[in-house]
Amino acid sequence: MAIAPLLPSSPGKMPLSDYKPLSNEELSQRIEKAKAKLGKKLLILGHHYQQDEVIEHADLRGDSYQLSQLAANSDECRAIVFCGVHFMAETADILANRPEKLATRNGERVSVILPDMAAGCSMADMAAIRQVEDAWDQLGEVIDTSRMIPVTYINSAASLKAFCGKHGGIVCTSSNAAAVLKWAYERGDRVFFFPDQHLGRNTALTMGITNAQMPVWDPYAEEFGGNTEQALVDSKVVLWKGHCSVHQMFRPEHVAQFREKYPGIKILVHPECPQEVNDIADVSGSTSKILKTVEEAPPGTKWAIGTELHLVNRVKKEHPEQEIHFLSPVVCMCATMYRIDLAHLAWTLENLLVDEVVNPIHVDPDTAKYSLIALERMLEVR
Ligand code: 13P
Ligand code: SF4
């Protein structure tokens, strides 16, 4: 697996080690105090997978698409603390500091902070820019890549978004993937989809594209991603061999077990689940669609939900009128999201109070410029 290099954590004026021994109660109080002092200069964004203790302090929460919109539209804040993972903070930095926004602030940047630099995404780490560039060059030997549209899932490094921006491509999220594929086929004949093979496959299948038209590109294979030239010539989507280790754990036998034990139960999954699970689910959608589906269902509906554990447990707590189960006998949690804890959040905010920006995420200007092209397309396509 290609591990994206993360910068080391900043030392900060107040060291992180001072916060680790404190109780959650004390940390929560200090976080709220710091928030009150920083006022509108601070915006805390939280992804739905964050643990309850952390998400309670977020000003706004959402799925990846909504969080990108919120960062893009932020006006008053001068610091965004992102309770999520690295690619989300990079996206926020690119959107909050795009030239049009910088002009309205006389060039003043919004600092984007990731409370723990080790909060990466293992799926994003499965595609490195040099591997994508190499694949593109090899594809160019067999097909006309000027008619191929690169689409990167937002769960990817900024360099891959920049690649899409440079090559007439686009970024998608789990909430607009079908609209993005439609956008791509209005502009080309084929799609190169990375890094999540499951989201790419599950979405393309709903558009009538068959598995035979979706070869999988293995970046570690010797030649042509492990495919024959003919398979690439016949392709409609070339899928990258990447996946989410959390959603990979949900299996069709779990669906069968729930259906047998709880007749009438509905299966609700995230489209990062493998095809065998996605195909037999009742509903598939982004984290916000999962929330909305439960919110809008009649009381007493039975659900087995296949997505990250913290979100499922929260939905269960917030909707006692529904019967909610977790669609796996084993714990499937996003270990990197979980790295953001109260100690890191308090440390980040109290350093901000003394004008110290710890763990800044600042995408280099050239990468930001080209990523922005692909991200603005994403925000336009719903
Ligand atoms: P959403 O965009 O649906 O919130 O998903 C983000 C993610 O990382 C899912 O694993
Ligand atoms: Fe990445 Fe999977 Fe965690 Fe989402 S749940 S952030 S895809 S590792």
Which ligand minimizes its atom distance to the CA of 154?
Answer: 1
Q: Which residues are annotated as a binding site for [4Fe-4S] cluster?
A: 121, 244, 334
How far is 103 from 91, CA to CA, in rounded Å? 19
Q: Which residues contact 186 (CB under 8 A, 6 or more apart)?
A: none
Identical fold, 123-245 and 247-326:
yes
**pTM to 2 decimal places:** 0.96
pLDDT tens digits, 99-120: 999 999 999 999 999 999 999 9
Ligand 2 centroid to Cα of residue 363, in Å, is: 21
- What digits encode the pLDDT tens for the residues 202-239? 999 999 999 999 999 999 999 999 999 999 999 999 99
User: CB of 378 closer than 6 A to ligand 2?
Assistant: no
Q: Can you tell me whether residue 297 is helix, strand or coil?
A: coil
For residue 213, what are its two tokens?
A: 């038209």
Which homologous superfamily is 16-120+338-362 in?
Answer: NadA-like (3.40.50.10800)
Give domain 123-245's CATH architecture. Answer: 3-Layer(aba) Sandwich (3.40)
Task: Sketch the domain layout of the chain as residue ranges.
Answer: 16-120+338-362, 123-245, 247-326
What pLDDT digit, counting tens, does each position of 172-188 carry? 999 999 999 999 999 99
User: Over 50: is that where the pLDDT of 342 sits?
Assistant: yes
Tell me if 244 CB under 6 Å of ligand 1: yes
Q: Return binding residues.
A: 47, 64, 121, 153-155, 174, 244, 270-272, 287, 334
Q: Is the CB of 4 under 6 A from ligand 2?
A: no
Reference 179, options 149, 211, 204; nearest CA is 204
For residues 47 and 337, is the Cβ–Cβ distance under 8 A? yes
Question: Which residue has tokens 């893009």?
Answer: 72
Q: Which CATH class is domain 247-326?
A: alpha beta
In the reported structure, the alpha carbon of residue 270 is separated from the centroid of ligand 1 by a whole-number distance in angstroms of: 8
Q: Could you give the CA distance from residue 268 to residue 38 in angstroms, rounded to a whole number? A: 39
Q: Is 334's C-beta closer than 6 angstroms to any atom of ligand 2?
A: yes
CA gap 109, 40 in Å, rounded: 15
Checking if the pLDDT of 4 tops 90, the result is: no
